[in-house]
Structure 1
Amino acid sequence: MANVTIIGGHGKVALLAEPKLVQAGHTVNAVIRNADQSSDIESKGANAVVLDIQNASTTEIEKMLQETETDVLVWSAGAGGGDTSRTYAIDQDAAIRTIEAAEHTGVKRYVMVSYLGSGNGHTVGEDNGFYAYETAKAVADAYLRDSDLDFTILGPGMLTEDAAAGIEVNLKPENAETPRELVADVMVAVIADDSTIGKAIPFSAGSNEVSAAVAAAPAKRDFK
């Protein structure tokens, strides 16, 4: 079992993933910006780690990874749209700093929560708030692929609050509905399966069993 550190530990996906990872036998560290959220993290069985990832330097992230004895680093953070400068600061720049910090500290395993279609160009104009997100995620994902890390990139479709029932892998429609709980299940599955290293896995709700589906996913490094 591993020490799993989740960046964006109070996000909706992370809060669903944390108890699942604990149940799987992992030690889970949830990185949060606001210390007031610590009780929510601890109620999931995880350890709260307070660090403002948007403003943390690479050195500060390295220190956190060392102190938590991280084996697997998961990026599940996001600016949430709206503010373009914050989107670039978090979804691109901060994500890249965590990749660099992992490389510098010997944390080889890295799981990136991205989105279905990342890197396939823009679907909206520059005046749309989603444009910055598409750009930032494409840059961060490319940086991860070019790193020396053992990465897996997750590509869920449009997120919903539905319960997870099964998975469909290797889809193309960017708006394929995907329960957040399914993203959490996929996160747990790929951490447990080294055959997913080097894969970008696009998925949405479906009828297939998660672990078998991600293991059988094509060995593609992007969503193109």
Structure 2
Amino acid sequence: MTDSTRILLIGGHGKVALLATPMLIDASLEVTSMYRNPDHRSEIEELGAMPLERDVTTLSVEDWADLLKDFDVVVWSAGNGGKSGAAATYAIDRDAAIASIDGAASLGEQAPRYIMVSYVASTSHTIDPDASFYPYAESKKSADEHLAKTNLDYLILGPSGLTLDQVNGIEVIEDSTEAGADRTTSRILVAQVITEFAVREFPQTRVLPFVDGDTPVSAIR
């Protein structure tokens, strides 16, 4: 990677993206932060990122391709977070995410590297369909499985229960619900992992399940 690496943070006003923005800028990347609410522009500008106001649910595959062709790395960190009901969750976390993946994949050799912020064991969940978490779980499963079928250079991040705790490092775990049970992952650590792999090659695994630990992020291979 060079100092001119251009990165797009999708969901730029989310907690992880707001933490990652100054880290990425400090790493000499050109950061564009994509958000929906116009009220968030000033906060993003204050962090030093280029603001880009878009509603991910309105973008077609062709729209995504036209947008993503200008970037070297794209990070999907957008999500409904269950705030607006199941329909919005499927529209954002599944349909919009898949459209962005297809837009990137359509660029062929010019496609950006793709980092998907997900959660541990996303593709093997056993959430009850009646549970409130089910739409999110199904959406992430669909998007992650779709990404895995492409020829993109991609990395799926699988943190466990998210906190804002200070961290000393990372522990890579098995990609299973059992391995992530009763473990937590700081959003600060997620931001550190995004920054680490925005500036160097992805690790050997395409899926990186992790929790707070004592190993430096830079040691991951």
Q: Normalising by structure 2, what TM-score?
A: 0.91
Q: CA deviation at 1:194?
A: 1.1
Q: Distance in 2 between matches of 1:16 and 1:22?
A: 11
* Residues 79, 175 of structure 1: alpha-carbon distance in 2 compared, 3 angstrom cutoff: farther
Whether the aligned pair in 2 keeps the contact of 1:152 and 1:197 (CA below 8 Å) is no
Q: Which secondary structure state, in structure 2, belongs to the residue aligned with residue 74 of structure 1?
A: strand
Whether the aligned pair in 1 keeps the contact of 2:89 and 2:139 (CA below 8 Å) is yes
| Partner AA of 1:89 in structure 2 | A
Corresponding position of 2:134 = 131
Corresponding position of 1:150 = 153
Aligned residue among 177, 194, 199 for 1:192: 199
Corresponding position of 1:107 = 111
Q: Distance in 1 between matches of 2:202 and 2:194?
A: 14
Aligned residue among 88, 91, 94 for 1:92: 94
Q: CA deviation at 1:161?
A: 1.2
Q: CA deviation at 1:62?
A: 2.3
Q: CA deviation at 1:190?
A: 1.7
* Residues 206, 43 of structure 1: alpha-carbon distance in 2 compared, 3 angstrom cutoff: same
Q: What are the equivalent positions in structure 2 for 1:40-189 lying under 5 Å apart?
A: 40-66=43-69, 69-82=70-83, 83-105=85-107, 106-122=110-126, 124-171=127-174, 172-189=179-196
| Partner AA of 1:12 in structure 2 | K
Is the deviation greater in 163-172 or in 191-200? 191-200
Is the deviation greater in 138-147 or in 103-112? 103-112
Q: Distance in 2 between matches of 1:14 and 1:70?
A: 17
Corresponding position of 1:219 = none
* Residues 44, 79 of structure 1: alpha-carbon distance in 2 compared, 3 angstrom cutoff: same
Q: Which secondary structure state, in structure 2, belongs to the residue aligned with residue 80 of structure 1?
A: coil
Whether the aligned pair in 2 keeps the contact of 1:74 and 1:111 (CA below 8 Å) is yes
| Partner AA of 1:91 in structure 2 | D
| Partner AA of 1:191 in structure 2 | A
Aligned residue among 32, 37, 48 for 2:35: 32
Whether the aligned pair in 1 keeps the contact of 2:173 and 2:180 (CA below 8 Å) is no
Is the deviation greater in 101-110 or in 26-35? 101-110
Aligned residue among 3, 6, 27 for 2:6: 3
Q: CA deviation at 1:175?
A: 4.3
Q: Which runs of 5+ in 1 are unaligned?
A: 216-224
Q: Which runs of 5+ in 2 are unaligned?
A: none
| Partner AA of 1:97 in structure 2 | A
Whether the aligned pair in 2 keeps the contact of 1:150 and 1:198 (CA below 8 Å) is no
Q: Which secondary structure state, in structure 2, belongs to the residue aligned with residue 79 of structure 1?
A: coil
Q: CA deviation at 1:197?
A: 6.0
Q: CA deviation at 1:130?
A: 0.7
Q: Which runs of 4+ in 1 moved over 3 A?
A: none
Q: Distance in 1 between matches of 2:171 and 2:164?
A: 17
Whether the aligned pair in 2 keeps the contact of 1:150 and 1:197 (CA below 8 Å) is no
Whether the aligned pair in 2 keeps the contact of 1:151 and 1:198 (CA below 8 Å) is no
Corresponding position of 1:222 = none
Q: CA deviation at 1:205?
A: 0.6
| Partner AA of 2:77 in structure 1 | S
Q: Which secondary structure state, in structure 1, belongs to the residue aligned with residue 180 of structure 2?
A: coil
Q: Distance in 1 between matches of 2:35 and 2:182?
A: 29
1:175-206 Cα deviation digits (max 9, x unpaired)? 42111000000111122231426520000111
Q: Distance in 2 between matches of 1:190 and 1:166?
A: 15
Q: CA deviation at 1:174?
A: 4.1
